[in-house]
Amino acid sequence: MTRARLLMLSLGGTITMVPQARGGIAPRLGAAELVASVPELAEVAQIEAESLARLPSPSLAPENLVAVAARIGQAFAAGADGAVVIQGTDTIEESAFLLDLLVAGDRPVVMTGAMRGADAPGADGPANLLAAARVAAGAEARGLGTLAVLNYDIHAARFVQKTHTTLPSAFASPMLGPIGAVAEGRPRFFARVQRLPTYPAEAGPPPPIALLRWAMGEDGRLLAALPGLGYAGAVIEGMGAGHVPAGAAEAVGDLARRMPVVLASRSAAGPVFTGTYGYPGGEIDLIRRGAIPAGLLSGLKARLLLGLALRGGAGRAAAEAAFTPYQ
C-alpha cells in the first residue's frame, strides 16, 4: 500500500520548546527533530519536514500564515496529499481559520501543537503530532478545509477555540463540538462542514483591522480614533447577540461611514442577530447604521476574514460579500 505524502511545517510553539539557561522554556526543536521523535510517523506517511519559523505563537502574524499557505499550495501542486502545520496553541484558532480561507481545494490541512513542553512529564506533543498526521493522510478529511487536531479531537477551523490556559483538553468548538476524533489509530468523523469561499494567498497579508470587545459602561470614545491610526476596518464584539449601549450607537454609525465595521458577539457561541432587538444600540439599530453582521464567526475570526476581504483597497461591498456565507 502506497503511503500518503505529507508536508509538515513547523512554526515553533510549546511543542518545540525545551528549557533554556535563563529560565523557562523557549522554541528550539525543528520540524525534522519533531518527526524523528515520533517513529510511528514513518508508518503513516512519507513526510517532508520544514521549519519556517521558531517562534512562540503570540509572535506569529498573518504574514507568517500567508507564507505557510503559499508553501502548502506549492506542495499540493507538486503532488502532496496533505499538510500538517505545527505551532503554539495560543493562536491556533486564528491560524487555522486563516489557512481555511487561504488554501483552496480538497486536500486536508491540519493544525496541531501541544499544551506541555517537549521535556515535560506527559508531554502531549508526540500524540498530537501523530494524530494530526493520521488525519491529514486519510481520505476522510478531504473536502473539510483546515482542521485542528489536539487531544485526539478533530475541530473545524471556523469553530475551534482555545478555552483553557493549561489543560491538554484546552480546545473546544462551542458552536458545534468536535466534528470527529482519532480513536484506535484512525480518524472517525461525526459530522462534515461545507467548504466556504477561499482567498488567494498571492494577494498578500491583510491590512490592519481593529478588534474591540464591548464592556458594560463603555461609551465608544475610542472608535473615532481608529481611522487615524491606520486601520482599514474594525470588528466590534458586542454584548449578547450583538448589542452596545444606546449612547454608543451613534459612534458606531459614525465609524461605519468611514470604514467597514463588522458586528460580532463577545459570547463564546451563537450567531449575531439581525432582526430581533430594535432598541437603540440593538443589532437592528446598528445594522441600519452600517454595521455588517459577522454571522457565526467569533470576533477573532471575523477580524481575519474582514482583513482578507479588504486587501487591495476593497471597501464595504467586498466586506458584505465576504460575510454573507457565514450568516
- Sheet of strand 233-238, all strands in order from the earlier edge strand to the far edge: 209-213, 233-238, 261-265, 292-293
**10 vs 71: CA distance, rounded Å:** 12
DSSP-based three-state secondary structure for 92 = helix
**116 vs 14: CA distance, rounded Å:** 6
Q: Are 138 and 186 spatial neighbours (Cβ–Cβ below 8 Å)? A: yes
Name the residue among 61, 208, 48 with its Cα closest to residue 133.
Answer: 48
SS3 content of the chain, % helix, strand, coil (to 5): 35, 25, 40
Q: Which three cell numbers stand for residue 231?
A: 486601520
Cβ neighbours for 112, distance < 8 A, ≥ 6 positions apart: 15, 84, 85, 86, 128, 129, 131, 132, 148, 149, 150
Amino acid type, 314: A
Q: Are 179 and 158 spatial neighbours (Cβ–Cβ below 8 Å)? A: no
Strand-pair category, 82-86 with 109-112: parallel
Strand-pair category, 4-12 with 146-150: unpaired
CA 74 to chain CA centroid, nearest Å: 21
Name the residue among 230, 238, 240 with its Cα closest to residue 210.
Answer: 230
* 2 is known as an active-site residue: no
- Per the residue annotation, which of 2, 14, 274, 324 is the catalytic one? 14
Q: Which residues are catalytic?
A: 14
